Amino acid sequence: MERTKEADLVTAVLIYAMRCLAEGDHAALRDLHFGVKEIEALRAMQVADLYRIGALRAHCLEITLNRQVYWPMIHRLIEQRATEETIQTLIAADAPQEMMQVLFGLNPRDYTRLRRILSVDPAVGRPRELDEANSHRLWAVWSDRVDGEPSGLLRPEAYLDIHRDTGLSMRAIWNQTQRWAQFGNLNDPIDEETVQAGAHE
């Protein structure tokens, strides 16, 4: 016999209530309006009883939506989804592990796992140094975005924008901009030629 959606709802709530009972979370049971008699009946319930609920076409629950909890939860889920999509896009663009560690705290094991899932070819050796033209182009795009940020770090999305705008590899972008960020105080005016020379020392 096919289970009904009402039966699935009741089963899910009863399993939750049984877990609360097992863990001694009586506050949660009170929030569900379980009284002494209901708790005793719950204590006597067996696993087989949960399967017998499958025939129910009605339920004994009053479900209401707490909007004050619902919307922060939804916004948090959206943020997490966006972060995960950004991580995957960066790794698919061959972002180095150091970059992912700094920006997201991604450890080497998870980094390697995601590269394997996304079928990213293994990185071999150090990325080639940028030639003068590409270095100047990257400096122009990066310095415009990093203005006023003393760490020299950008939002993850900004690195993707630079990658798309310049066509340079993510590894080259990260390595070169990290050198520039470490060169000096980015709050002070920096002569571009001086930075370029310092980056290649």
Predicted confidence (pLDDT) per residue in 36-60, tens digit: 999 999 999 998 888 888 777 777 8
What pLDDT is recorded for position 124? 64
Whether 123 has a pLDDT exceeding 80, the answer reads no
Q: Mind listing the pLDDT tens digit for each residue in 74-109?
A: 999 999 999 999 999 999 999 999 999 999 999 999
What pLDDT is recorded for position 192? 47
For the beta carbon of residue 91, count every other beta carbon within 10 angstroms.
23
CA pair distance 72, 54, nearest whole angstrom: 33
Which amino acid, residue 137? R
- Please state the separation of Cα 122 from the chain's center in Å: 23
Whether 201 has a pLDDT exceeding 60, the answer reads no
What global pTM score does this model have? 0.73
Domain chopping of the chain, boundaries: 5-55, 66-201
- Please report which confidence band the pLDDT of residue 183 belongs to, taking 50, 70 and 90 as the band edges: confident
Q: How far separated are the first and last CA of the chain, in Å rounded?
A: 75
Whether 26 has a pLDDT exceeding 90, the answer reads yes
Whether 133 has a pLDDT exceeding 80, the answer reads yes
Contact of 177 with 196, CB cutoff 8 Å: no
DSSP 130: P
Question: Residue 79 is encoded by which pair of tokens?
Answer: 């943020």
Question: Residue 123 is encoded by which pair of tokens?
Answer: 């990185």
What pLDDT is recorded for position 13? 93
- Please report which confidence band the pLDDT of residue 63 belongs to, taking 50, 70 and 90 as the band edges: confident
